[in-house]
Amino acid sequence: MSGALAKRYARALFEIAEERGLIDQIEGELKDLAEALKQVPDFHKLFTHPRIAVASKKELLEELFKGKASQEVINFLFALVDNKRESEFAEITRAYVEMANDKRGFADAVVTTAKPLSQEELEELANQFGQMLNKKLRFESVVDPTIIGGVVVKIGDRLYDGSLKTKLEHFAHQI
């Protein structure tokens, strides 16, 4: 599934959630289900296996999630099964979470540096990028010595690459 198609599925669910005031609840349920799919490989196999009948998958989902997930999420899962898109659940969930964060004025970011940053440095980066994007950022810090120096910031589908490695590569191409 393309990212655009995952976003369309996520947008459809998000619009229902927004209309019913369930954005946070549905986000939590999607995250819980995504975690269950990761933690229980057999459940993931059953949910995504193309040869298991649609009716059997729906029955399993109904049995597992009745009373534990909202009817909106159950119906959404049924739609994925009907359209044979269940293998794209994780990508759709990521798109939904991004929409929910956007609605709240938040964005998740991954900051990659060659050496660990102090909390002050992370907060300064969050402030600078947050002002630029008019959002409050939540950073995950990753250390990758191969970038040599500088910083790489990934926010959603945007990448800001200020790494020394990339600058050296650009310089080498110019020579």
Identify whether the C-beta of residue 149 lies closer than 8 Å to the C-beta of residue 114. yes
Residues 6+ apart with CB under 8 A from 157: 3
pLDDT at 116 over 60: yes
Last residue of a domain, one of 45, 74, 102: 102
Full domain range(s) for residue 24: 3-102
Residues 6+ apart with CB under 8 A from 57: 46, 47, 81, 86
Number of domains in the chain: 2
Residues 72 and 35 in one domain: yes
pTM reported for the whole predicted model: 0.76
Last residue of a domain, one of 102, 130, 155: 102
Residues 13 and 93 in one domain: yes
Residues 91 and 8 in one domain: yes
Amino acid 28: pLDDT: 97
Confidence of residue 175 (pLDDT cuts 50, 70, 90): confident
Residues 137-146 have a mean pLDDT of 94
